[in-house]
Amino acid sequence: MTAFDDGLWARLVDQHQADRVALGPAPQRGSRRRLLVGVSGVAVASVAGVLAAVLSLAGGASTAFAGWTPQPTKPTAAQLATTKAYCASKVPWHGLPLKLVDARGPFTFIVYSDGTQNDFCTTGPAFQNASGWQTSSPMTVPAGQLFLWTDHVTADSGQPYGTMIAEAGADVTAVNVTLDNGDQVTATIENGWVAAWWPGAYHVASAQLTTPSGTRTQTFAPYPCDVHNCNGGPHGGAPGGGPGGG
Amino acid sequence: MYRENVGRVTAFFSRRCREPQQVADLTSQTFVEAIKSAGTFEGRGSATAWLIAIARRVYAAHLADQAAGVNVIDRLGGRLVLADDEVEDLAARIDAQRDGRQLLERVAGLSSVERGAIELVDLLGLTPRDAAGVLGVSANVLRVRLFRAHQRLRKEHADDRL
């Protein structure tokens, strides 16, 4: 293992509990042995140890999202301070302007951006994470539209959850997201940024956008084409080089 | 598994990227993807083949982002902040893949399955069966394509020497 290998492993353990992840579907009738993804520097775990780790993840999953709400809530001062403190130490770029705070019960999701560098982070009782991305130039989103930056399912808590981050046209005042399982989630919209997240491995199907002139529904290509350039066209497949998803 | 494969994954990206930061980010993203989809591993091929399949998808998404003019660092795991010795380490690995890069350039005219077979079997050391799984073809098809690819490379090499 080289300096890079060791550094990456430490980060994977720190942020993604890599040393507790097992390969393979859930064991059936105890007949299937799982493989350990990571090998910790301390010791190679026994099969019993591996299974115990897997069970501990599964055990936490049932309550991982307790308190989550499909509508945003108002965060407490302490909740916000805790999330900001975590974000300040974990995000890729430090000191970016705060753009959005999305709270859902005890969970807080924050987006920071200066237009080209963008951070987001999440904290809650059962999990936390931080990440970011970078763009070549600031995005100007046409009126009445969303530009979807991410529509991602992750499993930091041991149970999957989906996240969407978008930027909105200046006239968009409210966003209701419909997932590909039909569930609806009210997104938070602040400073032109839109964010929502939800328990389960679901992706964004459409969004109902409220503007002064009424409401319209923006339908997105099925994931991953809603955020990736699947057809050689512009991001998200929107016509005319505009933002994706339309 | 990480220890056994991090070198192969890094080499995969070192043959395609010349910037240590890019190799680091894509390698990181591959392992984060692997962690998050560990439950989907069915054990029909080797773990190495499964990881390389993820690396190929990560690289394809990276190219798509580039084509769209978006530099997405990592929707999953965040950017790695590299220490100087890590940058040197990765720069050395990129340099070490010079021959591999040249080989990929030489086979650029072959079909995607033939190119993939050359890289997965000859450079990464996967078995033909595992490589076939990564490329989504049968093992027999892969063996035939690999044989043809070798023949063409030998012929080109012989032509070059004339």
User: How far is the alpha carbon of B104 from chain A, nearest alpha carbon, in Å?
Assistant: 24
Q: Are residues A54 and A117 in the same domain?
A: no
Range of the domain at A195: 77-241
A231-239 long-range contacts, CB within 8 A, separation 24+: A232/B67, A234/B68, A235/A147, A235/B68, A235/B69, A235/B70, A236/A147, A236/A148
| ipTM > 0.85 (yes/no) | no
The pLDDT of residue A172 is 96
Contact of A4 with chain B, judged by CB distance below 8 Å, is answered with: yes
Please report the pLDDT score of residue A55 as a whole number: 24
Q: Could you tell me the residue ranges of all domains in chain B?
A: 1-96, 99-162
Own/partner pairs, A217-223, CB within 8 angstroms, 24+ separation: A218/A145, A218/A146, A218/A245, A218/A246, A219/A245, A219/A246, A220/A148, A220/A151, A220/A244, A220/A245, A221/A245, A222/A180, A223/A151, A223/A180
Q: Which of B27, B39, B47 sits opposite A8 (nearest CB)?
A: B27
- The band of A246, judged by pLDDT with boundaries at 50, 70 and 90, is very low
pLDDT digit string, tens, across residues A89-122: 888 788 899 999 999 999 999 999 998 888 888 8
A153 with A36, same domain: the answer is no
Q: What is the mean pLDDT of each run of 10 residues along chain B (162 residues)?
A: 89 90 88 82 81 90 70 49 78 87 85 89 88 90 90 78 60
- Tell me, yes or no, if B22 comes closer than 8 A to chain A by beta carbon: no
**For residue A71, what pLDDT band results from cuts at 50, 70 and 90?**
very high
Within-domain flag for A109: yes
Tokens of A164: 């969407």
Give the tens place of pLDDT for each residue, A114-154: 988 888 888 888 778 887 777 767 778 999 999 988 888 77
Which CATH architecture describes the domain B99-162? Orthogonal Bundle (1.10)
Same domain, A209 and A172: yes
Looking at the domain assignment, is residue A67 inside a domain? no
Q: Of A1, A154, A229, which has the smallest distance from its Cβ to B67's Cβ? A: A229
CB–CB contact A132 B68 (8 Å): no
Q: Is B47 on the interface with A (CB under 8 A)?
A: yes
A68 assigned to some structural domain:
no
Chain A residue at shortest CA distance from B6: A5
